[in-house]
Amino acid sequence: MTVPKPRIRRALALPLGMVTASALAFLPNATASAAPVESAAPQAGGPSLSYVVNIHNTGVGLTAHVKKAVAEAGGTIVESYDQIGTLVVHSSNPEFASVMRRVKGVDSAGATRTAPLPTQSTADMGAPKVLSAGEVAQAQAEAAGGQDPLEPLQWDLRPIKADQAHRKTLGSPKVTVAVIDTGVDDTHPDLAPNFDRRASVNCVSGKPDTTDGAWRPSATDSPHGTHVAGEIAAAKNGSGMTGVAPGVKVAGIKVADPDGFFYTEAVVCGFVWAAEHGVDVTNNSYYTDPWNFNCSDDPDQKALVDAVDRAARYAEKKGTVNVAAAGNDSYDLASHAITDPTSPNDSTPGDRVIDPHNCFDIPSQVPGVVTVSATGAKGLKSSFSNYGLGVVDVTAPGGDSTAYQRPEPPATSGLILGTLPGGKWGYMAGTSMASPHVAAVAALIKSTHPNAPASLVRSLLSSQATPMGCTDPYDIDGDGKIDAVCEGTKNNNGFYGRGMVDALAAVTK
pLDDT value at position 45?
Answer: 61
* Number of other residues whose CB lies within 10 A of the CB of residue 301: 24
| pLDDT bracket for residue 471 (50, 70, 90) | very high
Q: How far is CA 123 from the centre of its chain?
A: 17
Q: 64 or 336: whose pLDDT is higher?
A: 64
437 phi/psi in degrees, rounded to 5: -60, -40
In sequence order, what are the beta bridge partners of 417?
Answer: 427
What is d(CA 382, CA 502) in angstroms, rounded to the nearest whole number?
19
| pLDDT bracket for residue 25 (50, 70, 90) | very low
- pLDDT tens figures, 389-405: 999 999 999 999 999 99
pLDDT value at position 61?
Answer: 78
- Residue pair 153/186 in contact by the 8 Å Cβ criterion: no
Instruction: Kindly report which listed range (116-130, 213-227, 317-331) carries the lowest average pLDDT score.
Output: 116-130
pLDDT value at position 56?
Answer: 92
- Residue pair 409/470 in contact by the 8 Å Cβ criterion: no
What is d(CA 276, CA 199) in angstroms, rounded to the nearest whole number?
9
- pLDDT tens figures, 113-138: 999 987 543 333 468 899 988 888 88
pLDDT beyond 60 at 11: no
Q: What percent of the chain has pLDDT over 70?
A: 89
Continuous segment of H or E residues that includes residue 457:
helix 454-463
pLDDT value at position 145?
Answer: 82
**CA dihedral defined by 379, 392, 256, 271, rounded to 10 degrees?**
130
Average pLDDT over residues 168-193: 98
Domain boundaries, the chain: 33-104, 154-508
pLDDT value at position 133?
Answer: 86
Q: 139 or 185: whose pLDDT is higher?
A: 185
CATH superfamily assigned to domain 154-508: Peptidase S8/S53 domain (3.40.50.200)
Q: How far is CA 301 from CA 8, 176, 328, in A?
A: 18, 32, 21
Exposure of 316 in the CB half-sphere (CA atoms within 13 A)? 20
Structurally, at CATH architecture level, domain 33-104 sits in 2-Layer Sandwich (3.30)
| Mean pLDDT score across all residues of the chain | 90
b/e map 167-177, b = 16+ CB within 10 Å = eebbbbeebbb
Identity at 266, one-letter amino acid code: A
pLDDT value at position 44?
Answer: 54
Q: Closest Cα to residue 79, out of 292, 273, 251, 327? A: 273
Q: Residue 117 burial (CB < 10 Å; 0-12/13-18/19+)? A: middle
What is d(CA 366, CA 18) in angstroms, rounded to the nearest whole number?
8
Mark out the alpha helices in 349-392 (DSSP H runs). Answer: none
Average pLDDT over residues 234-246: 97
Q: Which residues contact 420 (CB under 8 A, 6 or more apart)?
A: 128, 130, 185, 188, 223, 226, 227, 230, 426
| pLDDT bracket for residue 12 (50, 70, 90) | low
